[in-house]
Amino acid sequence: MKKLLSVLLALMLFLPAMQVAFADAPVTITFAFWDTNQEPGMRAIADAYTAKHPNVTVETQVTPWTEYWTKLEAAAMGGELPDVMWMHANQITKYAEAGALLDLNDLNYDYSPYPEGVTSLYVMNDVHYAIPKDYDTIALAYNKEIFDAAGVPYPDDTWDWAKLREVSIKLTNKDKGIYGFGVANTDQSGYHNFIYQNGGFVIKDGVAGYDQAATQEAIQFYADLYLKDGVSPSPESFTDMSADDQFCAGKLAMLYVGSWMMSSYTQNEMINGKFDLAVLPKGKVRASIYNGLGYAGAANTKNPAVVKDFLAFCGTEEANILQAKAKAAIPAYKGTEHYFSDQFNFNIKCYSDMIEYGVQSPFSPRKSLWYDAQTEMMTSILSGQATVADACNALQATITEAEAG
Amino acid sequence: MTTAKIVPRRRSRLLRSEWAWAYLLIAPTIIGLCILNIYPFFNSIWLSLQKMQGLTPAKYIGIKNYQTLFADKLVMQATWNTLYFMLLTVPVGVFLALIMATLLNNNIRGRDIYRGIYFLPLVVAPAAIAMVWRWMFNAENGIINQFLGLFGIAGPNWLSDPNTALVSCAIITIWSSIGYDLVLLLAGLQSIPQNYYEACEIDGAGPLRKFFHITVPLVSPTLFFVTVLRVMSAIKVFDVIYMLIKDSNPAFNKGVSLMVLFYREAFVKFNKGYASAIVMWSFVIIGVLTAIQFIAEKKLVNYD
């Protein structure tokens, strides 16, 4: 027995020697993101990286959007952030200021292949914190069957607000349960577009624009489509069945939809092939809210070299093409957008066309403090409980107070 | 003589080792209680006196959170919503459970099967329950409104009408918690001796009389226990309201409960200090309600 033990102990001494014999020790890095629709794309990038670096295993962790930030914040406070994670423009300030993200300046990365707007979202105090991943814009989705049945020509780039309203009224047929346009309580894919198209703004450098006449006028137009013209289902209806679901069920003729929804729209048999996209109708100016995600690393990761290398890989043309081919999102690398739009046989390229006049999704570091008040503003307007002026001025006061601190 | 000396020593060693074993065996629970319940409780009190925003370090501000809390109309509305929710779920839920327990107390065939069926909602995940009921409450296509439509009644917008939103959540909560109360009350009922009922029957009492004059007084200890539990869980309601009444719901203001508000403050707005104050306020409410119930216990509950 003793002899066996001593033999075993002796053998164990050789283990470190065997470890050293491997050129690179095996490394596992965690890669966290939301959106299961994009998981195949991210998995493809991870596998391509492992093919080049066999000792690195990339473990993907998908958390639904509603829990992603809660989980990430808890992880940040506990010092247990995932090695690589998706970063969003709304949250970058918080994490960068707290020193939770890896400084990428020493990568000396070339950011020229990406739209300037997306790159700058993730630069704070001249430090790059994320590699641009994709961008998304908002377009006008329309149900071809409803248009055909009414004999109305499809939307095109000559449309403006008046035309949108006119066609919405024409297509609304309450007996058949069909509405012309979905006036939903969504900001990025809803009324924010109208605000900027009218020359108003939501928030700029910590100052809110809800007291501006241009902003209030835009919101009035948006709300009146439901309140006065009756072209939209009610907010109660949208509570029971979301605007996207109602569009896919063929109840809405038109809806403003973000490009990130295209994957789930095309997988939905009820609407796939029956809808198409057009650029947003113009107001006083053209505008479409855009946003872009980035790949960021954790500051306290145990494998900074591997993480930086992986992040750099995620930004390459090859990785962006993989992302596009998996229909994940519109890749940020200039020139690869067509790999995304080629996958679809409808006018999806209009999303990329709009980045020219895209407006960055309004945000401020303190946005989470007044975001619910903004939702409440639209709820009270659409339910007829408050006028646009009263609700917007009240929101302006709330935002000013929250931004002050 | 030697035996007289040995016995006391052996007994005291035995006694000491018994004490040691006793402490050892309750240690896991006590340690768990201290770390997971008692420490967080006092930590919450401390946090409620701080301003803690996002990832910035906490700053002591005294009772300012509480001043904001009492001036906050949404918190007061949520308090009222929560109390209203409690008034909806506790009387109806406990009463229904008592009736069903009384009916099940008779040796009817398949009694155990019924008990199993009534208990089933408790083993289903709250998220699943909420999702299914959400479709049932759907104003246009939901099964409830379609059923009402058969009688020509136009069903309301259950989940988006401010008047019915909390009622819908109360229905779901009552449905899912009857099983638990039922099992407890059944146990309480079975401890009532049969001869009370027999004596009553000889005097010619009907079932209603038996119920109100024998069953209710004698099951009152269990009834008290069940009511205290139900009141506490009603004030703490979160799952069903969080999942069915979102921010953009027109009925949000009339449906939001204290715990949903706490969640939003703590995890959406990252205002941990203010959120802790909300939690402390809920604690005070539960404490007051429980105290009221204990005072009522002295007068209404029979311990024979």
Question: For residue range B164-195, what is the model confidence (pLDDT) as tens digits?
Answer: 999 999 999 999 999 899 989 999 998 888 88
Q: What is the pTM of this model?
A: 0.82
Enter the CATH code of domain B64-300: 1.10.3720.10
Share of chain A above pLDDT 90, in %: 54
Phi and psi for A119 in degrees, rounded to 5? -55, -45
pLDDT on residue A222? 95
Q: Minimal Cα–Cα distance from B247 to chain A, Å?
A: 7
Taking domain A138-288+364-404, whether its CATH number is 3.40.190.10 is answered by yes
Instruction: Indicate the domain borders of chain B.
Output: 2-47, 64-300
* Whether B168 contacts chain A with CB within 8 A: no
- Give the C-alpha separation, B34 to B31, whole Å: 5
- Are A369 and B140 a contacting pair at CB < 8 A? no
User: How many Cα atoms sit within 13 Å of B155 on the Cβ side?
Assistant: 22
Asked if pLDDT for residue A24 goes beyond 90, the answer is no
Asked if pLDDT for residue B7 goes beyond 70, the answer is no
Domains A25-136+291-334 and A138-288+364-404 share a fold: yes
SS3 content of chain A, % helix, strand, coil (to 5): 50, 20, 35
Which of A29-38, A327-336, B14-23 has the highest average model confidence (pLDDT)?
A29-38
- Identify which of A185, A368, A378 has the shortest CB distance to residue B270: A368
How confident is the model over A114-149, as pLDDT tens digits?
888 788 888 888 899 999 999 889 999 999 999 999
Q: Give the mean pLDDT of B120-148.
A: 91
Q: How confident is the model at residue A22 (pLDDT cuts 50, 70, 90)?
A: very low
Among the listed residues B284, B241, B296, the one whose alpha carbon sits nearest the alpha carbon of residue B88: B241
Q: What secondary structure letter does DSSP report for A231?
A: -
- Identify which of A97, A240, A368 has the shortest CB distance to residue B140: A240
Structure tokens at B53: 């925003």
Write down the H helix ranges in chain B: 2-33, 39-47, 64-71, 73-105, 111-119, 126-136, 143-150, 165-190, 194-202, 207-210, 216-235, 239-244, 252-255, 258-263, 272-300
Asked if pLDDT for residue B289 goes beyond 90, the answer is yes
Among the listed residues A64, A107, A99, the one whose alpha carbon sits nearest the alpha carbon of residue A81: A99
* Whether A100 contacts chain B with CB within 8 A: yes
- Identify which of B56, B139, B269 has the shortest CB distance to residue A368: B269
User: Are A161 and A281 contacting, i.e. CB atoms less than 8 angstroms apart?
Assistant: yes
- Are A237 and B139 a contacting pair at CB < 8 A? yes
pLDDT on residue A17? 52
Asked if pLDDT for residue A13 goes beyond 90, the answer is no
- Give the C-alpha separation, A296 to A312, whole Å: 10
Radius of gyration of chain B, Cα coordinates, nearest whole angstrom: 25
- Spell out the SS3 assignment of A251-294: CEEEEEEEHHHHHHHHHCCCCCCCEEEECCCECCCCCEEEECCE
Q: Kindly provide the ipTM of the predicted complex, given to two decimals.
A: 0.77
Q: Minimal Cα–Cα distance from B133 to chain A, Å?
A: 12
| Beta-strand relationship, A288-290 and A358-360 | parallel
User: Are A331 and A320 contacting, i.e. CB atoms less than 8 angstroms apart?
Assistant: yes
Asked if pLDDT for residue B91 goes beyond 70, the answer is yes
| Beta-strand relationship, A252-258 and A179-181 | parallel
Q: Residue B63 burial (CB < 10 Å; 0-12/13-18/19+)?
A: exposed
Residue of A nearest to B242 (CA): A66
- Give the C-alpha separation, A171 to A150, whole Å: 7
* Whether A249 contacts chain B with CB within 8 A: no
* Whether B138 contacts chain A with CB within 8 A: yes
B203 vs A400, residue with greater confidence: A400
Q: Give the mean pLDDT of A56-74.
A: 89
- Give the C-alpha separation, A115 to A134, whole Å: 9
pLDDT on residue A379? 94
Instruction: Indicate the domain borders of chain A.
Output: 25-136+291-334, 138-288+364-404
Q: Give the mean pLDDT of A220-242.
A: 93
Structure tokens at A400: 């000013």
* Whether B209 contacts chain A with CB within 8 A: no
Torsion of CA A173, A174, A176, A179, to 10 degrees: 60
Structure tokens at A278: 């057009």
A237 vs B15, residue with greater confidence: A237
| Beta-strand relationship, A123-124 and A127-128 | antiparallel
All residues of chain A having their beta carbon less than 8 Å from the beta carbon of residue B56 are 98
Surface of B (65-84) touching A: CB under 8 A: none
How confident is the model over A205-230, as pLDDT tens digits?
889 999 999 999 999 999 999 999 99
Structure tokens at A27: 């490394």
Among the listed residues A87, A22, A70, A45, the one whose alpha carbon sits nearest the alpha carbon of residue A315: A45
Q: How confident is the model at residue A346 (pLDDT cuts 50, 70, 90)?
A: confident
Instruction: Count the Cβ atoms, other than its own, within 10 Å of residue B292.
Output: 11
Share of chain A above pLDDT 70, in %: 95
H or E, element range at A140: strand A138-143
- Identify which of A238, A240, A382 has the shortest CB distance to residue B138: A240
All residues of chain A having their beta carbon less than 8 Å from the beta carbon of residue B55 are 73, 76-77, 94-95, 97-98, 100
Asked if pLDDT for residue B294 goes beyond 80, the answer is yes
A13 vs B80, residue with greater confidence: B80
How confident is the model over A353-382, as pLDDT tens digits?
888 888 988 888 788 889 999 999 999 999
Structure tokens at A201: 């703004």
Q: Give the mean pLDDT of B63-86.
A: 94
Helix B73-105 to helix B216-235 angle, to the nearest 10 degrees? 150
Lowest mean pLDDT among A8-17, A192-201, A241-250, B245-254: A8-17
How confident is the model over B204-241, as pLDDT tens digits?
878 888 888 888 888 999 999 999 999 999 999 999 99
Q: Residue A150 burial (CB < 10 Å; 0-12/13-18/19+)?
A: middle
Which listed CATH number (3.40.190.10, 2.60.40.10, 3.30.420.240, 3.40.50.720) goes with A25-136+291-334? 3.40.190.10
Q: How confident is the model at residue A7 (pLDDT cuts 50, 70, 90)?
A: low
Asked if pLDDT for residue A190 goes beyond 90, the answer is yes
